[in-house]
């Protein structure tokens, strides 16, 4: 089983839609969690950290479920500019940051 | 702004050649990482370094080595390049200032290596 798994998609949604991605992790000792965004032919950049209590940044909401070992990202009112690959990342206890394979989102007009 | 600079954006090498990929960061970050990214496989960790002269294997270290003689520089070495090492290589750095394992990774623009 991979340490961090995501559904690669692609997710094709119309503008204004709400879309959710999940990411599961296998190491119960994982300490911190993140969502990164990667545009085509660009490097990944941090979108948001994921806190135990859940956190929201504008149209984006991230949640952590430790019992079931998954994190989620919800995007409301999708924009064309949200089209990208979304990568979840998990810090394991040794300091390694492990990424999922990424989920591709395509928002269509 | 944090700047992570990878020495070469595109390289073409022949099988068996020794390849050096250089990465320099300008923010005095303790941690540095090397990943490779392949379609359908995402980012896979090759090696990381907690600090100067320290290194840890990631998930796919075979065929690679690293060097961190100075804090700002983390080099990835392919001793004898093979065609299955054709990939996009991404370097990243992270500060420990916010606490262990909590900091944001800052990536370089990547080095696309083709091994013929």
Partners of A101 on chain B (C-beta within 8 Å) are: 40-42
Q: Is the pLDDT of residue B101 over 70?
A: no
> How many whole angstroms from its chain centre is CA B65?
10
pLDDT confidence of residue B56:
93
Each residue of B21-76: pLDDT tens digit? Answer: 999 999 999 999 999 999 888 899 999 999 999 999 999 999 999 999 999 999 99
Q: Of A32, A45, A96, which has the smallest distance from its Cβ to B48's Cβ?
A: A96
Partners of A46 on chain B (C-beta within 8 Å) are: 104-105
3-state helix, strand, coil in chain B (%, to 5): 5, 50, 45
Separation in Å, CA of A109 to nearest CA in chain B:
26
* More reliable by pLDDT, A76 or B96: A76
Q: Is the pLDDT of residue B88 over 80?
A: yes
Buried b (16+ CB within 10 A) or exposed e, B18-51: ebebbbbbeeebbbbbbbbbeeeebbbbbbbbbe
SS3 A81: helix
Contact A31, A95 (CB under 8 A): no
Which of the residues B42, B58, B102, B112 would you substitute to probe the A interface, choosing the one with the greatest number of A C-beta atoms within 10 Å?
A: B42
Tell which B residues from 25 to 84 touch A, by Cβ distance under 8 Å.
31, 33, 35, 40-45, 48, 50, 56, 58-59
Report d(CA B47, CA A92) in Å as an integer.
Answer: 14
SS3 A31: coil
Which phi and psi (to 5°) does residue B68 adopt? -140, 80
The reply to whether omega before A10 is within 30° of 0 (cis) is yes
């Amino acid at each position: 089983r991979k340490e961090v798994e995501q559904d690669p998609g692609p997710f094709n949604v119309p503008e204004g839609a709400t879309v959710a991605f999940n990411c599961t992790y296998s190491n119960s000792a994982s300490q911190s969690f993140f969502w990164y965004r990667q545009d085509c032919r660009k490097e990944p950049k941090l979108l948001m950290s994921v806190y135990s209590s859940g956190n929201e940044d504008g149209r984006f909401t991230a949640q952590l479920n430790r019992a079931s070992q998954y994190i989620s990202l919800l995007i409301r009112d999708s924009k064309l500019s949200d089209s990208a690959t979304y990568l979840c990342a998990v810090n394991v206890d040794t300091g390694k940051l492990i990424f999922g394979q990424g989920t591709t989102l395509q928002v269509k007009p | 702004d944090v700047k992570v600079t990878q020495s070469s954006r595109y390289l073409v090498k022949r099988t068996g050649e020794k390849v050096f990929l250089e990465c320099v960061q300008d923010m005095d970050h303790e941690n540095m990482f090397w990943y490779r990214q392949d379609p359908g496989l995402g980012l896979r960790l090759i090696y990381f370094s907690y600090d100067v002269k320290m290194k840890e294997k990631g998930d796919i270290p075979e065929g690679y080595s690293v060097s961190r003689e100075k804090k700002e520089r983390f080099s990835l070495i392919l001793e004898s390049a093979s065609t299955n090492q054709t990939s996009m290589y991404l370097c990243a750095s992270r500060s420990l200032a916010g606490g262990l394992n909590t900091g944001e990774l800052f990536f370089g623009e990547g080095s696309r290596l083709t091994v013929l």
